[in-house]
Structures are given as structure tokens and as C-alpha cells.
Amino acid sequence: MSQCAFFAFLIFEACVGMYFPLIGTLKGDIVPEDMRATIYNIYRLPLNVIVLLPLLLNFSITTTFCVTTSGLALAQASLFLLKSIRETATKDDTPDHSAEELEAMVIGAHK
């Protein structure tokens, strides 16, 4: 059991380690510069609540780990849902081109 918990912890830490640089880049691309401080503070509110609740409610380690794992699973499912919605919207907006036409457009763009 301890090896399973250790590897689950490593996976969790890897996910968290990838999250912060990726979300920072994404927010930098999406959030307008003049609204950035306000919107970032709004983002921090739920994060602080998520951090404080387990501390104040004194959950066991197992409960806390199950809740964080469930949250990551929900985030992953949301990611795939948003990705499929975006791909569907992109396909609807993009005219149909053959592979040869797309290759010609890419080659023409690099000249």
C-alpha cells in the first residue's frame, strides 16, 4: 500500500508541476494586460478556499488524497470535453481542403 501511495503522490506532484507553468502561459495569452491583476486575484480566491478547507476541517490524509485525486480527475475530464468542443467548433469553421491543398498552402507560406 505504501508503494502505491508513493507512486500516486509522484503522479500528483507531476500534474501539479505541469499545471502551474502551463496555466501561467495560457493565462498570459488569454487575459488582457489591463485586466490581468483583477482576474488573477479572482482566480486565487477558489484556490485559497481549496487549500484552507482541508486544513480547517482537519481531514485525514486518505480523505484529502481522495478529494485531490477526484479534483484532478474532474479537471482532466473537463480538459478533454473542452478540447472536443474546440475541435468540433474548429472543424465547422474550417473549409474542407485536401491534403495536397493544405501542403501547398504551408509550403507557399514559408517562401
Q: Chain centroid to CA 53: how far?
A: 22
For residue 111, is pLDDT > 70?
Answer: no
pTM > 0.85: yes or no:
no
pLDDT of residue 100: 65
Q: Which of 78, 69, 62 is nearest to 13 (CA)?
A: 69
The grid cell for 97 is 481542403
Per-residue pLDDT reduced to its tens digit, 46-75: 888 888 887 888 888 888 888 888 988 998
pLDDT per position as a tens digit, 18-51: 988 888 888 788 888 888 889 888 878 888 888 8
C-beta of residue 31 within 8 angstroms of C-beta of residue 39? yes
Q: Burial of 65 by CB count in 10 Å (0-12 exposed, 13-18 middle, 19+ buried)? A: middle
User: In sequence order, what E strands does 51-98 have?
Assistant: none
Asked if residues 25 and 85 have their Cβ atoms less than 8 Å apart, the reply is no
